[in-house]
Structure 1
Amino acid sequence: MAKAHQIVVWTWGIRNTFRSLVAILTTILVVSAIYLTQDAGQACEQRVVSSDSIPKCDLFFGKWVFDNESYPLYKEQQCTFMSDQLACEKFGRKDLNYQNWRWKPHHCDLPRFNATALLERLRNKRLVFVGDSLNRGQWVSMVCLVESVVPRSLKFMHTLANGSLNIFKAIEYNATIEFYWAPLLVESNSDDPVNHRVPERTVRIKAIEKHAKYWTDADILIFNTYLWWRRPVMNVLWGSFGDPDGVYKGVEMLRVYEMALRTWSDWVEVHVNSNKTQMFFVSMSPTHERAEEWGGAVGENCYTEKEQIAKEGYWGKGSDPKMMQLVEKVLEDLRTRGSNVQMLNITQLTEYRKEGHPSIYKKQWEPLTEEQISDPRTYADCIHWCLPGVPDVWNELLYAHIFHQ
């Protein structure tokens, strides 16, 4: 009987041990499965982030990488429609490294710009840039990027609207890439494409149709407006220019800027079908007019600069966060109303490029004074950008969003 009892106890012990082993093995398998699933999920997430998928990668935060094999994307001398305001090599610049920088987002790569693919996308369509001379520079860049694949006999440039509307046409594709001069988007006394430098800048804050009628049927719209607002107070006109009964009032700039953006956004909501038209708003293009902001000598600017700003997150005083926040607020409000305008946030990545400006290497539209000649810093252009150069990257970002939004 004792022996039988020992056998039962021994058998029970084996069963308990077996069950314990099974439980331990089951636990190990479950934990391993969870770990492997998480690891696979992370690997999958990494693969997604490393792709060209726009929603998974913030294209606007990264670093500049020197690349003299793939860049520049075109040669300055070979661009038929290059602007003398942006042709720095033509006007004597010798250090050309500014042409060889590629933008590398932190978690992915920008898709390679394909001129033929873009022209196919634009077949029977209009791509229109609207804004100031920075947007015009981006337009020139875009024309230079695509025109090399179009035979000379199948492309041309012409102007309309008293010179305000410049149109590049690729005949084979029946596609146009256009620029419309409207530096403040709404009507102003700076709307003449040539004679727009006036001492008292005035805007008709509720008037936009005079300009907007030239954009209404565009298929892709790219807007900007910033530098022309940089003054403490703007003159606002209620009425028409030349109307003796018009009412003028000086208003704090940020308030006027918001009013103009609201007028523009109301026009977008009413007149643009966002199911048909892709719309973009380009953020502020930084200036580099005070070298002390990046550690240079007081009184210096971008003149003679040959290197980028190395400090990640650098933000100069030439960029106004409050104005950028206003744009973001207006675009968000538009989205709630069913109109999608995407922000091309070029500001931070462009802040680093103090060496990319024309400086003194451009056509001078007015004779230089003896004082200017004796001190080139005084007439260095630290606002616009040499081409090939920074605006080509803006267009690579635009290209990515056109194809992957």
Structure 2
Amino acid sequence: MGSTSPFKDHHHHQQQQSYPITKKLLPWALYALLPLAIFRLYLHPLDLFSENEVITKDLQNKPIIVSTAPKPVEEVRNDCDYSNGEWVEDKMGPLYNGTSCGTIKDGQNCMGHGRPDSGYLYWRWKPSQCQLPRFEPTKFLSLLENKHLAFVGDSMARNQLESLLCLLSSVSHPDLVYTNGDDNKFRRWHFPSHNVNVSVYWSPFLVKGIEKSNTGFNFNKLFLDSVDNRWALDLEQIDMLVLSVGHWFLHPAVYYENDSVLGCHACEGLNHTEIGFFDVLRKAVKTTLKAITDKSITDGNQIDVILTTFSPAHFEGEWDKNGACSREKPFEEGEKALEGMDADMRNIEVEEIEEAKNKVIQVDRLRIEALDVTKIAFMRPDGHPGPYMYPNPFADGVKDRVQNDCVHWCLPGPIDTWNEILLQVVRQWEAESMRRRG
């Protein structure tokens, strides 16, 4: 029953006839082609590969193929204003914790000191105009490969530095290669994986200053026409600077310019004119940016400058009163306005950065940018150590008086966002450089 294909027997018979011939000829054909292929490779070794590939050797002297094609220009938005937006809940949380990172200053290790709530770890900054990508440690290290990044300024510079070290440590362990000064105020780490150096320089005014002491005068002395040589003398070996100042200008101080007293701030008992600190901050930033610019132009060195804007404190009441900064959630948009001193400090810094950018717009080897985090920081009253600047502050019961830190930031915490934006600034600069190189 059923039909039979008229080609079935013919096909089977043809296979039986041709198979022995094919079986005999195939090995001879391969033996003949092999010498030709070897001879072809000997005469033209690179023709077998793409025009964007070359043969090299690895560390064990084994040949490998490496692409020489130009890297594609990374698409990075340069029109995003990261400074405006809102904090939104985020289930993912931080890249590190208080025990996995060994570079956190003791006073900012809120998790290690027993802070009971963890909600402050699960918020993410959402800019109004675009998305802020999560921090990519490997990407940051590759962009800074063979370079020296230095954080210069007050304890907020150190706070941001330690945040960055913890973020990077999630993929590559740094070696502490230098330390000096009280409280390790001058330190340097090296990431062998990418030959990246990261340093911190204590310089709370950026300009030359003499800090008040418990045994001498109780006010700072600032020399507004000279930068602090503790960092300035190392400019030749620094590729990128992240500056951060502001809070130390609120302390009593006497100001000098051109070897004479310019005025003072909160200097009761001294025969000097009270001039506040806003204009002094402006002069200090201006002097600093000019010194860096002049050094770069004179020496012909490329240097990138980023100024992290003023980070507001969140004291509610007395600094040693329980609950001085006890909020557990960010402010919502419109809940509280950024105004007064916080806004003025931020505006001065942004204005000076813009002025400096306009002056060096034609200088290819100098790039300047503001890392505008003032509003971002202002909206996070929940991110400070508070009483957990010390271990287990309520182990013996709740106290009415307890020292609080409502200035610095828990690690991990909101300040990690500063470095997420820092990465975007560096990525944008790199993309622009690649486009210019064409």
CA distance in 1, matches of 2:215, 2:145: 34
Contact 2:76 / 2:428 at 8 angstroms: preserved in 1?
A: yes
CA distance in 2, matches of 1:217, 1:119: 18
Q: What does residue 10 of structure 1 align with? A: none
Q: What does residue 390 of structure 2 align with? A: 363
Of 77, 84, 89, the residue aligned with 1:66 is 89
Q: What does residue 172 of structure 1 align with? A: 193
Does the C-alpha gap of structure 1 residues 263 and 196 become closer, same or farther in structure 2, counting only changes over 3 Å? farther
1:234 and 2:261 correspond? no
Q: What does residue 224 of structure 2 align with? A: 205
3-state SS, counterpart of residue 183 of structure 1: coil
Q: What does residue 396 of structure 1 align with? A: 420
Query: Aligned letter for 1:208?
Result: V
Of 282, 287, 290, the residue aligned with 2:313 is 287
Q: What does residue 302 of structure 2 align with? A: 276
1:264 and 2:283 correspond? no
Query: Aligned letter for 2:290?
Result: D
Q: What does residue 400 of structure 2 align with? A: 375
Does the C-alpha gap of structure 1 residues 196 and 280 become closer, same or farther in structure 2, counting only changes over 3 Å? farther
Q: What does residue 122 of structure 1 align with? A: 144
CA distance in 2, matches of 1:204, 1:121: 36
Q: What does residue 184 of structure 1 align with? A: 205
3-state SS, counterpart of residue 102 of structure 1: strand
TM-score by length of 1: 0.73
3-state SS, counterpart of residue 199 of structure 2: strand
Q: What does residue 341 of structure 1 align with? A: 368
Of 345, 349, 355, the residue aligned with 1:323 is 345
3-state SS, counterpart of residue 312 of structure 1: coil
Does the C-alpha gap of structure 1 residues 291 and 349 become closer, same or farther in structure 2, counting only changes over 3 Å? farther
Contact 2:206 / 2:228 at 8 angstroms: preserved in 1?
A: no
Equivalent residues in 2 for 1:290-301, closer than 5 Å: 290=316
CA distance in 2, matches of 1:359, 1:265: 34
CA distance in 1, matches of 2:354, 2:116: 44
Give per-residue Cα distances to partners, 1:166-189, cap 9 Å, x unaligned. 111112322111111101101112
Deviation of the 1:348 alpha carbon: 0.7
Does the C-alpha gap of structure 1 residues 322 and 226 become closer, same or farther in structure 2, counting only changes over 3 Å? same
Contact 1:315 / 1:348 at 8 angstroms: preserved in 2?
A: no
Does the C-alpha gap of structure 1 residues 196 and 262 become closer, same or farther in structure 2, counting only changes over 3 Å? farther
1:113 and 2:135 correspond? yes
Does the C-alpha gap of structure 1 residues 108 and 275 become closer, same or farther in structure 2, counting only changes over 3 Å? farther
Deviates more, 1:208-217 or 1:83-92: 208-217
- Sequence identity, in percent? 27
CA distance in 2, matches of 1:55, 1:172: 29
Contact 2:254 / 2:261 at 8 angstroms: preserved in 1?
A: no
Deviates more, 1:123-132 or 1:309-318: 309-318
TM-score by length of 2: 0.68
Q: What does residue 103 of structure 2 align with? A: 81
CA distance in 2, matches of 1:301, 1:227: 22
RMSD, aligned CA: 3.3
Give per-residue Cα distances to partners, 1:175-211, cap 9 Å, x unaligned. 111111101101112299xx89972121111221513
3-state SS, counterpart of residue 421 of structure 2: helix
**Number of aligned positions between the proteins:** 333
Deviation of the 1:353 alpha carbon: 0.7
Misfit runs of 4+, over 6 Å: 195-198
Query: Aligned letter for 1:229?
Result: F
Q: Which has the higher helix share?
A: 1
Does the C-alpha gap of structure 1 residues 88 and 348 become closer, same or farther in structure 2, counting only changes over 3 Å? same
Equivalent residues in 2 for 1:1-20, closer than 5 Å: none
Does the C-alpha gap of structure 1 residues 165 and 318 become closer, same or farther in structure 2, counting only changes over 3 Å? farther
Does the C-alpha gap of structure 1 residues 385 and 197 become closer, same or farther in structure 2, counting only changes over 3 Å? farther
Deviation of the 1:343 alpha carbon: 0.8
Give per-residue Cα distances to partners, 1:25-78, cap 9 Å, x unaligned. xxxxxxxxxxxxxxxxxxxxxxxxxx9743232122111121122x21212210
